[in-house]
Structure 1
């Protein structure tokens, strides 16, 4: 198995213990939540830009002709590997409607580019069931294993698209890690640090976009 599928689907790569419950890969992200004219969420558009160390490891693994770059067919192989690897992890998407978790459908493709020493991924996913702009909706991107840190540098990187969004109140929530630890100390100590893959607790730390419509 290539390093990309092992690392980006990190539950197989993590070891038990507190020392491993921290990110090893870093990505800057942009998320666009899109609605149509009928007031339904139609897609979630993602852009991920990975750190140079991880990007260089992907280059080494997928540069089959050793020309020190990723050619179109090699980029396509990276995208296919990620698309297959993240299927079991809902593509790192956290989507909820009035407290109910909404899975996403498998994307048609994950498009990949390699620029200035960094790997970029572009893809769109759709809610697996109808999702109207009604009540409280929340959207985020996070790795449930804590192996990959996906960050939004500014609130504008969590955007809404569509006229229907104008009727919704928008808020970007950035949880305070110290407060999360304080509020969930016993649970995090007993479950999260011993087996982060089985708790989904990293969701508590993730930045999210909340819409109240």
Structure 2
């Protein structure tokens, strides 16, 4: 059984919000304070196997401006599609550099931070000109008779990218029949980011064996 409680997706930033943010930054700048240049909508899949949690499948959909930049830089044949060579180059030059930042996926297991050391199954594609990334983060956690508590929060600690949850289908579950699961999205009040001003949005997952 999967129990979903209070799923509150992060609202999609619109152009008014972006312009307002830029206006406020100009009027009231903080020394050295960055502001987002890239906006990313994240869908998160929780993948289970026979033992428990196997990892997280993350799908990013980028904003129009970043998509144009990636298309111009990496769609070498300008056919509005990405072949395997182009995807490999994107992974190396437009994705791999965020590895030191946990690939922007910050995870706590029973309150202890989990270091995202690597990802696999990376893919990138264009959908009507919009760039999408998908990748899998292995994170093996054995299910017990008592609940395991997972907190997953996507954010760029330097705030050059703004990651939010979409209004529709922000979460997905795979192979959950053997487990009792509770999940919700809310702000992580135990974490402060961006000059200790913001509690990031997070997914709170609890699971145990049935």
Give the TM-score normalised by the residue count of structure 2.
0.70
Residue number in structure 2 paired with 1:56:
68
Equivalent runs, 1:12-91 vs 2, <5 Å: 17=30, 20-38=33-51, 40-65=52-77, 67=78, 69-72=80-83, 73-91=85-103
Instruction: Report the aligned-residue RMSD.
Output: 3.0
Counterpart residue number, 1:5: none
Q: Please point out which of 114, 133, 136 is paired with 1:121.
A: 133
Give the deviation of 1:64 after TM superposition: 3.7
Say whether the 8 Å CA contact 2:80–2:129 is kept in structure 1: no
Aligned to 2:22: none
Structure 1 pair 164/105, CA: closer, same or farther in 2 (3 Å)?
farther
Structure with greater strand percent: 2
Count how many residue pairs are aligned between Structure 1 and Structure 2: 175
Counterpart Cα distance in 1 of 2:36 and 2:104: 14
SS at match of 1:88: helix
Runs of at least 4 residues off by over 4 Å? none
Matched, 1:208 2:185: no
Deviation at 1:121, TM superposition (A): 0.5
Q: Distance in 2 between matches of 1:98 and 1:140?
A: 14
Residues 23-59 of structure 1: CA distance to partner in whole angstroms, max 9, x if unpaired? 2211111001112122x21121011010010111122
For residue 96 of structure 1, what is the aligned residue in structure 2?
Answer: 108
Contact kept in structure 1, 2:82 and 2:126, CA below 8 Å: no
Task: Work out whether residues 35 and 164 of structure 1, in 8 Å CA contact, stay in contact via their aligned partners in 2.
Answer: no
Distance 1:51 1:139, change over 3 A: same
Unaligned runs of 5+ in 1: 1-15, 194-200
1:143 aligns with 2:143: no
Identify unmatched segments of 5+ residues in structure 2: 1-28
Larger RCO (CA under 8 A, 6+ residues apart): 2
